[in-house]
Structure 1
Amino acid sequence: MTGLDPAEFTTLRLRESGDRMHAVLDRPEVRNAIDAAMIAELHTLCAALETTPKILILSGTEVPGRDGTTKGLFASGADIGQLKERRRDDALRGINSTLFDRLAQLPMPVIAALDGFALGGGAELAWAADFRLGSDTLKLGQPETGLGIIPAAGALWRLRELAGEAIAKEMLFAGRILDAEEALAHGLISSVHPSEELPAAAEALADRIARQDPLAVRITKQVFAMPRDAHPHVDNLAQAILFESEEKFARMQAFLDRKKKGTTS
């Protein structure tokens, strides 16, 4: 266990199990806007997961809808009240970009379960995840230029890598907001689910990851992020480490035993 006390968090709700951590963005009164307190708590969470690697699921809490019902929402963006007061030195500190890079580099995979709106900084938080699952009510976009700023926490380069230059420019320059099916078609999410089924879909993906060898998953994530000119040399070094692991021998022997049993039965 990471040793984190959920009671000490005010902007996140944490649920921890043996192989995963589920962090729910929990500022419903401001539509889960990402503020300085949430950034600080996400840094605390990252520090714990760097020391005790676990799969991380990120999702948003339900917020009140205009029709009196509650609706799922990931994050409406950065807290505009705080953002309006930030100046040059704040931008140079990379307040959000530093955190999102840290999230992207966590040892184990990060799953973002995107329900409702994921806009601005909320979308950039999602781009930093390894997997993005969407609800059928998802609205995904980068409206920053309409507010007189740029999306400086990863969208200007991650979005092009994820979806290609054409759609990235539409979202970044023209403020286009994608719905779930458009996001799926452009590879920005990997699947679409009804809102009520989204949490279970994220848990099911975490289950599939958890069935793999954790060390092999960690090394695969690290090698995947390497620049092209690092391959195949880094692949060979990583494989050399895994070839000596006890887990590799145990899993391969179990595979051979199952195959033998299937042949003789």
Structure 2
Amino acid sequence: MSTIIVEERDDTTIVTLHRPDARNALNAQMVGELHAVCAQLETSPKPLLLTGSGGVFAGGADIAELLDRGRDEALLGINSRLFDRIARLPLPTVAAVDGYALGGGAELAYACDLRIASESAVFGNPEPGLGIIAAAGGCWRLAELVGKSVAKQVLLGGKHLDAWRAYTLGLVCDVVPADQLSERAHALVERITRSSPTALRLTKLVVDAPGGHPCIDDLAQAVLFESSDKADRMSRFLSGGRTR
């Protein structure tokens, strides 16, 4: 790995975007390395914590590479296929955003299940100024997260969302001082890992299922009701113990 730093813990995978000379911009090498992480997490599911180095989450996609791409590369969906894969990972994903998350960097954060921000975090999608669109999910994921009106302010009006505005819109779950971001992000992931992995996995599937239907809820619950993990956790709860 030359563009990301991967730390494996027993119950979490931590990935730090690390292209310090390019504000952690996403290039083809980074996309390939993140695909490798996804392949591992699909085989051995764990929550993913994604962050950036040097006080920046990701300043965007690599413009030099984008300049050389044409129609055929656009149809390959180089970034969008990666972000879709991250969004579909079995267990929750958390983006810890410090500083700029712009363009492809913002779209990467939007693809995660949860986002926590430092006070200096800034989200934006300046793609139309470069003659392109936010084609890696930004146009529709941002609208799903904050509503179409605000999404248009960002995507069409060039508005940036600072950390506190992102918080009031529900885009991020918390805003913390930059020097506490890592600690608070890890605490969030730790809370996640206290829950049943199977329950988390099925909850994510139900929440992300298009349209929703009571039958999906019933089927997911039926699987969990038969699990030994559910029996153990509820028995400990009833005996006055912690669920984990």
For residues 199-238 of structure 1, the aligned pairs below 5 Å read 199-228=182-211, 230-238=212-220
Match of 2:15 in 1: 23
Distance 1:15 1:156 in 2: 31
Distance 2:38 2:62 in 1: 21
Pairing partner for 1:139 from 98, 118, 122: 122
Q: Which letter maps to 1:179?
A: D
Q: Provide the secondary structure at the position in 1 that maps to 2:14.
A: strand
TM-score (normalizing by structure 1): 0.90
Distance 1:250 1:181 in 2: 40
Q: Provide the secondary structure at the position in 1 that maps to 2:239.
A: helix
Which protein shows a greater Rg? 1
Q: 1:41 and 2:33 equivalent? A: yes
Q: Provide the secondary structure at the position in 2 that maps to 1:189.
A: coil
Distance 1:167 1:216 in 2: 33
Match of 1:174 in 2: 157
Match of 1:263 in 2: none
Q: Which letter maps to 2:217?
A: D
Structure 1 residue 119 displacement after superposition: 0.1
Unaligned runs of 5+ in 1: 1-8, 63-71, 260-265
Structure 1 residue 166 displacement after superposition: 1.1
Aligned residue pair count: 241
Q: Provide the secondary structure at the position in 2 that maps to 1:15.
A: strand
Unaligned runs of 5+ in 2: none
Structure 1 residue 179 displacement after superposition: 1.0
Distance 2:167 2:226 in 1: 39
Q: Which letter maps to 1:56?
A: L
**Misfit runs of 4+, over 4 Å:** none
For residues 90-129 of structure 1, the aligned pairs below 5 Å read 90-129=73-112
Identity %: 52
Match of 1:4 in 2: none
Match of 1:252 in 2: 234
